[in-house]
A and B are shown apart, each in its own frame.
Chain A
Amino acid sequence: MNIFLYDDYLDKYKKKVRKIEETLNKLNLQGKILYLNNIKNIETSLQNEINSGAKTIVVVGNNKTLNNIVNYLANISEKIPVAIIPVGPNNSIAESLGVINEKEACYILSSRRIENIKLTLANNLMFIKDIYIAGKDISLNINNSYNLKIQKDGDCFIFNIPPKDEYFNNKKTILKENYLNLYIKIGSKSKSYLKAKKIEVNKTKEKAIIDNSIEIETPVNIEPSNKQIPLIVGKDRTFNL
């Protein structure tokens, strides 16, 4: 059985949600809907559904909706495939998975192409796509081997799943290698790329942001975790395994 997890904000997208449901019906992909605003403890609710034989968890929402359950899913013994139907903004994870819009997401769910994605650990939180830090004088310790300092205002990303980009598109084995991908952009000209096993972000003025949805205080230790979750992906995903 499919378990659909509906985020609170979907009230604003009633038309889209109706269309999604129509497409799912056409594809014979019905299931049980859990509304986040009605659930007291999402982990308990999901565990009950898994115990009752849930075969797929379908997140209908955005990065934040998915991040609500990532740490729980990574730590349970049952490996239940997770799909995302993106609705509204802040859907960079879906985009990386090759899920561009809600209609396509329904067909991708039907195709059921599953990839096990390794997660990255930031302090004690696991994430799927990236962690972002903005500002000047950001200082990073890489692999306990060298320090890197960003001397001007810049954007610093540490990717678990890389974006579509001139550099990353040619590094097709990137997810296999169990490395973090550090990308620093300063202005329009300066770009830096590094691979690392471990990155420590020292104390910064700005908080770090996980998957554009969760803010965490620095310092933060980032390293590949040994956990993974099966995600349902599209053909146009930005990575290969």
Chain B
Amino acid sequence: MFKKEDLLTNVNDAETIIGESVQVKGHFESNGNIIINGSLEGDIKTKGAILVGEKSKINANIEAEEMVIKGEINGNLKINGYLSIKELAKIIGDIECVQISIEKGAEINGQVTITNKKAKNNLKKESLKEDTTETEEN
């Protein structure tokens, strides 16, 4: 995963890069980080992070761990962690994420839901740990 503020600025961190003037259509699935500077239609799913570049145009539903958006997206986003929406971003679609930052100038047309799944999961893990410790002590 990337550091929050410089998510995917380094090409070496990305498993997949879709460059400018490259068009992808269909079901795109990956286990790693993705940088998109071209266009994409269909759906994207990754266990890593996605960076959508300024010139990219995406018509797709997206599921990822983390995401940075600088370009245009027409589709629903389901982000299991942090979502960063930069000033030139345009999003038409519903957003579900755990943490979000939106820069001044960004456009969003859709419903934004910020869930706290990760925090809940962490709480569960901690309480499980406590239970185990108690049992060991007993």
Interface residues in chain A, defined as those with a beta carbon under 8 Å from any beta carbon in chain B: 145-152, 154, 166-167, 170, 184, 186, 189-195
**B21 close to A147 (CB less than 8 A):** no
Interface-centre pick from B15, B29, B38 (highest chain A CB count, 10 A): B38
Residues of A within 8 A of B29 (CB): 145
Q: Is B42 an interface residue (CB 8 A)?
A: yes
- Does the CB pair B21–A148 fall under 8 Å? no
**Are the CB atoms of A150 and B21 closer together than 8 Å?**
yes
Contact (Cβ within 8 A) A190 B22: yes
Q: How far is the CA of A215 from the CA of B14 in the complex (A)?
A: 32
Tell me if A184 and B26 are in contact (CB < 8 A).
no
Secondary structure at the B interface, as helix, strand, loop or mixed, is: strand
Given contacts A145-B26, A166-B11, A167-B11, contact A194 B21 (CB under 8 A): no
Q: Given A190-B37, A192-B38, are A146 and B22 neighbors across the interface (CB < 8 Å)?
A: no
Min CB distance, B4 to chain A, in Å? 22
Q: For A149, what are the chain B residues with a Cβ–Cβ distance below 8 Å?
A: 22-25
Q: Give A193 Cβ to nearest chain B Cβ, in Å.
A: 5
* Interchain residue pairs A-B with the least CB separation, the first 10: A146-B26, A190-B19, A192-B19, A190-B20, A152-B21, A149-B23, A170-B12, A151-B21, A193-B17, A147-B25
Known contacts A166-B12, A167-B12: A186-B21 contact under CB 8 Å: yes
Contact: B16 with A194, CB < 8 Å?
Answer: yes
Which of A145, A170, A194 is packed against the most chain B CB atoms within 10 Å? A194
Partner of A186, one of B12, B15, B17, B22: B22
A148 B23 Cβ-Cβ under 8 A: yes
Is residue B88 within 8 Å, beta carbon to beta carbon, of the partner chain? no
Q: Please name all residues of chain B whose beta carbon is closer than 8 Å to the beta carbon of A148 when the two chains form the complex.
A: 22-25
Instruction: Enumerate chain B residues within 8 angstroms of A170, measured Cβ to Cβ.
Output: 12
Residues of A within 8 A of B26 (CB): 145-147
For B20, give the chain A residue with the smallest CB separation: A190
Q: A146-B26, A147-B26 are in contact. List 17 more A-B contacts (CB 8 A).
A: A147-B24, A147-B25, A148-B23, A149-B23, A154-B21, A166-B12, A167-B17, A186-B19, A186-B20, A189-B20, A190-B19, A190-B22, A190-B37, A191-B17, A192-B18, A192-B19, A195-B16
Complex CA distance for A150 and B23, rounded to whole angstroms: 7
